[in-house]
Amino acid sequence: MMRTRPLKVALLGCGVVGSEVARIMTTHAGDLAARIGAPVELAGVAVRRPDKVREGIDPALVTTDATALVKRGDLDIVVEVIGGIEPARTLITTALEHGASVVSANKALLAQDGAALHAAAEKHGRDLYYEAAVAGAIPLIRPLRESLAGDKVNRVLGIVNGTTNFILDKMDTTGAGYQEALDEATALGYAEADPTADVEGFDAAAKAAILAGIAFHTRVRLDDVHREGMTEVTAGDFASAREMGCTIKLLAICERAEDGASVTARVHPAMIPLSHPLASVRGAYNAVFVESDAAGQLMFYGPGAGGAPTASAVLGDLVAVGRNRLSGATGPGESAYAALPVSPMGEVVTRYHISLDVADKPGVLAQVATVFAEHGVSIDTVRQQGKDGEASLVVVTHRASDAALGGTVEALRKLDTVRGVASIMRVEGE
C-alpha cells in the first residue's frame, strides 16, 4: 500500500553525480514511489555555487548552508555526493544525529572513517549505504554484504579505476607511452587536470579498503592498503607482457592468506594472462573478480564512473533505505566480527617478472641464479638477449613472498655484473 507522506531527501552536492540523482528522482518519481511504497521528495539541495542554473531543480530548494540543511530534523534520507573528507564527514555525522539515514558515494571518507560512520549510524538507528563509492554503477557492496553473506570470500581482484584502465589499454593497443596515453585520457575527459589520485592508485586503494573490509568481515583502513601507482609502466613492459601472453592492468587485490589467519589488500600494476577475464576489460570500464568457497568465481563488470552510472547506484541505495525507513528497520551495518589482522606487503605471495640489464659474459647467469636461490626465490623461466657485450635478462619466478623478492632485488643491484634492474612486475591471476 502506498503511503502518501513523502520521504524527504536532501542532496549534498549537485555536480556530475548529484544533478543526475536529482534528474532520475524527478523523471522516475512514479516508479520510485511504487518500488519504495512512498513518494520521494527533494527537500533541499546544498551547493557551493548557488547562482549556477540547475535544470529541473527548483531554485527555492537550493542552499549554500549544508549544515542547516542536515540539521532540519525532518529529513528521511541525506544523499552525500560532495566527496572528500571534510565537510562530508561532519555533514554525514550531523545528518545521522538528526535522524536521517545516509546514502554516500564517498570512497575516500568510507575508506578512512568507515568504522566511525557505521558506529554513528548504529547509535542513531539509521542506515549508511554506499554502493556508489566503489566502481560506480557496478553492484559490489550489496553482493558482497548480502548475496555472499553466507559464503566465504577468499579473494577480490579488480580493475576499480577507469582512468588508469583507459591509459593502460591505450598503451597496450597502440604502443603509446604513458605520457601520450595520459594526454589522450585528459583530452577525452577521462583523466582530471591533476590525475594524481587515479594514476598513483589512491582512488583504487580507497576502494580496495572498502571491498576488503566487507569481503573479510574485518576493518581494513586506507593505511592498511599497499599502494603503487602506474606512472612507471612503459611500452617496454607491455612488450614483455605480450611475450608472456599477458597484458598489464592496475589491480586492486584483497586476499585471505592461505591459512585463513590474515588478509592483505594492495593496489599495483600487474601482468595478467590474456586468458583471464579481467584482461578483456577495455577502455574506462571497471570489473571485479570475486573468488569464494561455495560460489567459485564471479565477475562484476560495468561503468565505474560517470554521472548517470554512479547515480544508478545511489538511487538503488535510496530505494533500499527508503524501504527500510517505511518498515522501521535498518539494513546491514558494519560486519567486522572476524577482526583478522591485515598483513604487510612483505607477506604477500605472488609471481614476479624481473628485467635486468647485465654484462654478457661467462658466469653472469649463474651469479644471478645464485642470488635468487640464496633468497629462497625459485626461478620459473629465464630469457636472455645479448647485444655488444651487454644483455637483457628476463627472469620469471614461481610464487615467492614480496619480502624475499625485495631482498633478491637488493642483492642483485649490488652485483657488478648487473647494470640495472629495468623493471619488476608482479604476475597475477594465474
Annotated binding site for NADP(+): 12-19
Which set of grid coordinates corresponds to residue 57?
531543480
Quote the least distance from Cβ 386 to ligand HSE, whole Å: 41
Interface residue with ligand HSE, options 76, 113, 172, 198 (CB under 6 A)? 198
Distance CA 424, CA 420 (A): 11
Pick 161 or 350: Cβ nearer ligand HSE: 161
Query: Taking Cα atoms as reference points, which of 133, 13, 130, 4 lies closest to residue 63?
Result: 13
Distance CA 79, CA 20 (A): 12
Q: In the annotation, is 52 catalytic?
A: no
DSSP-derived secondary structure for 4-65 = SSPEEEEEE--SHHHHHHHHHHHHTHHHHHHHHTS-EEEEEEE-S-TTS--TTS-GGGEES-
DSSP-derived secondary structure for 126-180 = --EE-GGGTTTTS--HHIIIIITTTS-EEEEEEE--HHHHHHHHHHHHH---HHH
- Residues making up the binding site: 12-19, 107, 192
Site string for ligand HSE, 275-314 (x = CB under 6 A): -----------------------------xx---------
The active-site residue out of 123, 207, 387, 414 is: 207
Kindly provide the b/e burial profile for residues 402-428, where b requires at least 16 CB atoms within 10 angstroms of the residue's own CB: bebbebbbebbeebebbeeebbbbbbb
Helical residues (DSSP H) of 274-386, grouped into ranges = 307-327, 364-374
Quote the least distance from Cβ 195 to ligand HSE, whole Å: 9
Phi/psi for 275 (5° steps) reads -80, -10
Quote the least distance from Cβ 6 to ligand HSE, whole Å: 31
CB contact at 8 A, 107 and 206: yes
For ligand HSE, which stretch binds (CB under 6 A), given 59-67, 71-79, 157-165, 420-428? Answer: 157-165
Quote the least distance from Cβ 198 to ligand HSE, whole Å: 5
Quote the least distance from Cβ 337 to ligand HSE, whole Å: 29
Pick 16 or 421: Cβ nearer ligand HSE: 16
Q: Give the count of residues interacting with ligand HSE (CB under 6 A).
A: 7
For ligand HSE, which stretch binds (CB under 6 A), given 155-163, 323-331, 405-413, 421-429? Answer: 155-163
Site string for ligand HSE, 227-266 (x = CB under 6 A): ----------------------------------------
Distance CA 277, CA 230 (A): 21
Pick 7 or 204: Cβ nearer ligand HSE: 204
Pick 253 or 393: Cβ nearer ligand HSE: 253
The 10 Å Cβ neighbour count of residue 359 is: 16
Query: Taking Cα atoms as reference points, which of 199, 202, 187, 131 lies closest to residue 163?
Result: 199
Site string for ligand HSE, 158-177 (x = CB under 6 A): ---xxx--------------
DSSP-derived secondary structure for 332-344 = -----TT---B--
Pick 162 or 269: Cβ nearer ligand HSE: 162
CB contact at 8 A, 81 and 55: no
Asked whether position 402 contacts ligand HSE by CB under 6 A, the answer is no
Quote the least distance from Cβ 211 to ligand HSE, whole Å: 13
Question: Which residues in this chain contact ligand HSE in the complex, by CB under 6 A?
Answer: 161-163, 198, 203, 304-305
What residues act catalytically?
A: 207
